[in-house]
Amino acid sequence: MTEHKPLPIAVLASGRGSNLEALMHACNTGQLPLEFRLVASDHAEAAALRRAESAAIPTVALDPSGYRTRRDFDLDLFARVAASGAELVVLAGFMRILDAEAIAPWTGRMINVHPSLLPRYRGLHTHRRALEAGDHEHGASVHFVSAELDGGPVIAQAHIDVRADDTETTLAARLLPFEHRLLPAVVKLIAEERLGLHDAVVTLDTIPLEQPLRLVDQALQRA
């Protein structure tokens, strides 16, 4: 097996940081060759920051209210990300719409995990919306980030059935473990330099993906 140099990453999170924890666990158990350069948040009390601090990962919390515009906040945030030396940015529950100019240098180097089968249910309350629509299938997606909300090219998805007795809470709880497998699986392909974005097309081993990869057990497979 080819050994890969640890990939320097920064993680942006607004809340509890469970997907951050999944990445940390995969790294600590030798499944992912990562080097965590920074964990940043727009909430000083975010549990994600406490998780990072407990692992001696550098952190920063920026208060959006201290900036004149959203653009000013984003430019400062991504200047700090760049200064950290990160080569990949992972949005793991970062609940902000990002400025196009601020993220332009990160095209193809920033991914987001979103709790729906994109392009369905961009934005918030995805579990509720899936139930209200009567969907029989739900899931999570990892996509490259663009200026469009949850609109960048989709890399991979995890699918689960919607049960007749599901509530918004139970559906979210059942999906979360799949997110925790999906995100590290995608990051692993990036760290191994197998996954990329070329002219807005996702490629795996230089071959364009016609459909998002699908999570089967712990591995990603072509659809």
- Annotated active-site residue 159? The verdict is no
Q: Single out the catalytic residue among 4, 25, 43, 114.
A: 114
What letter would DSSP give residue 8? E
Q: How far is CA 168 from CA 47, 130, 132, 162, 177, in A?
A: 22, 9, 10, 10, 16
Q: Which of 89, 94, 154, 96 is nearest to 120 (CA)?
A: 154
Q: How far is CA 158 from CA 29, 67, 215, in A?
A: 22, 37, 5
Angle at the Cα of 77 from the Cα atoms of 109 and 47, rounded to 5 degrees: 95
Q: List, by residue number, the catalytic residues.
A: 114
